[in-house]
Amino acid sequence: GAFADRFDRRRIIQAGQASFALLALAVAIVIVTDRVTWVYLLIAAVIQGIAFSFMMPARQSIIPQLVPREQITNAMALSSAAMSAMTLTAPAFAGLLYAFAGPETVYFIISGLGFGAIVFTSLISLAGTDRARRKRGSVIKDVGAGLAYIKSNNIVLVLLIIGLATSVLAQPFRMLMPLFIVDVYELGPRAMGLLVSAMGGASLFGALFVASISNWRRGMLLLIGSFMSGIALVLIASVPIYYAAVLFMIPLGLGDAGRRTLNQSLVMEETNDEFRGRVMSVFMLNRGMMPLGVLPTAIMAEYVGAQVAIGTLGVLLLGFTLVVTVTQKRLRDM
């Protein structure tokens, strides 16, 4: 995040794209030469994770430099819709390529797309702060200044806490869905596919809905999305019927997409450009915090059952959202 606030965000994004493209090319080559081992894949995964940690804050914080402030939510929603569409279609497409052309072809295509992305990123024209003119001090001081800014900006702090709490409470169900399929519904992979598709389709629709609205009561819509997720989790836990769960995936997907998109766009809007990279890097930590919810939930599921564990998360999410709704008037009025 500090690097995203110090240097040209386009160059950071391009560096990340180049690393992804080169890693995919390297994996393709070791597959073709029949030298692939788990060690190569582990090294590639570590390098990719490092590159991702630099690229994502720059990629997110660059959006307000591409669109007017009043259109940030729409831009974020379209980005989320594209990600949802990719989640629905890309695995099937990659699976077909893998089956008919082999894994090396898949990685060669990924590499080519990565190099193409570098070219398209170079065509982006930015407005706003010129990173090259900033006085450069210590990176550690920049990080400290970013944390101090978050602490002093109450609404940004509240939005970041919401992102963290919903990540810990709402997201573990995605990881524990196979447990429900096997232990609760006593079904197999096809049933899992339908649940994932229902959630993905609802998420896509929710993102498109957010993209179509104006700036009307986005804070309240964020809270409504959180309530929807909590209620859906409680219903899934309470009704051990598979096709009922498919229906409950719809409000869960809608709430998830709307909550994530609005949460992220409001953080961007309420943050000064000088600190946006650092703030977005903290926001991106929410994804890394998800295991904090998965591990205790999995342990709870082992002792009291998956339904009780997921139901507990749903109740906690509803309670947290209620407290935020009652105490944060500014968020309700945004």
**CATH number, domain at 108?**
1.20.1250.20
The conformational region for residue 40 under phi > 0 = left, psi -120 to 50 = alpha, else beta, is alpha
Asked whether residue 106 falls in the same domain as residue 206, the answer is no
Asked whether residue 102 falls in the same domain as residue 162, the answer is no
pTM for this entry:
0.76
Asked whether residue 152 falls in the same domain as residue 233, the answer is yes
Cα angle: 243, vertex 302, 259; to 5 degrees: 55
Rounded to whole angstroms, what are the CA distances from 155 to 262, 263, 325? 14, 11, 13
Asked whether residue 16 falls in the same domain as residue 117, the answer is yes
CA-nearest of 284, 283, 319, 314 to 173 is: 314
Asked whether residue 145 falls in the same domain as residue 129, the answer is no
Q: Of 114, 133, 152, at which residue does a domain stop?
A: 133
* Cα separation, 261 vs 153, whole angstroms: 20
Asked whether residue 82 falls in the same domain as residue 223, the answer is no
Q: Of 76, 108, 133, at which residue does a domain stop?
A: 133
Asked whether residue 206 falls in the same domain as residue 156, the answer is yes
Asked whether residue 236 falls in the same domain as residue 209, the answer is yes
Two structure tokens written together for 128: 């706003």
pLDDT of residue 7: 74
Q: Of 79, 113, 133, at which residue does a domain stop?
A: 133
Q: 186 exposed, middle or buried (CB, 10 Å; 0-12, 13-18, 19+)?
A: exposed
pLDDT of residue 1: 66
| Residue 39 is assigned to a structural domain of this protein | yes
Residue 311 near residue 31 (C-beta atoms within 8 A)? no
pLDDT of residue 204: 79
pLDDT of residue 133: 44
Asked whether residue 215 falls in the same domain as residue 125, the answer is no
pLDDT of residue 95: 73
Write out the chain's pLDDT in tens, 334 residues.
677 777 778 888 899 899 999 999 999 999 999 888 888 888 988 888 888 888 888 877 787 778 777 777 777 777 777 777 776 777 667 777 877 888 888 889 989 999 999 999 888 877 655 444 455 567 778 888 888 988 898 999 999 999 888 888 988 888 888 888 888 888 877 788 788 888 878 887 877 777 677 667 788 889 999 999 999 999 999 998 999 999 999 999 888 888 888 888 888 888 887 888 888 888 887 776 777 778 888 888 888 988 999 999 999 999 999 999 999 888 888 7
| Residue 333 is assigned to a structural domain of this protein | no
Q: Residue 103's domain spans which residues?
A: 2-133
| Residue 334 is assigned to a structural domain of this protein | no
Write down the residue that tokens 């909550």 correspond to.
259
Asked whether residue 85 falls in the same domain as residue 144, the answer is no
> What's the gap between Cα 283 and its chain centre?
10
| Residue 260 is assigned to a structural domain of this protein | yes
CA-nearest of 310, 270, 46 to 155 is: 270
| Residue 332 is assigned to a structural domain of this protein | no
Asked whether residue 180 falls in the same domain as residue 269, the answer is yes
Overall number of domains in the chain: 2
Asked whether residue 110 falls in the same domain as residue 181, the answer is no
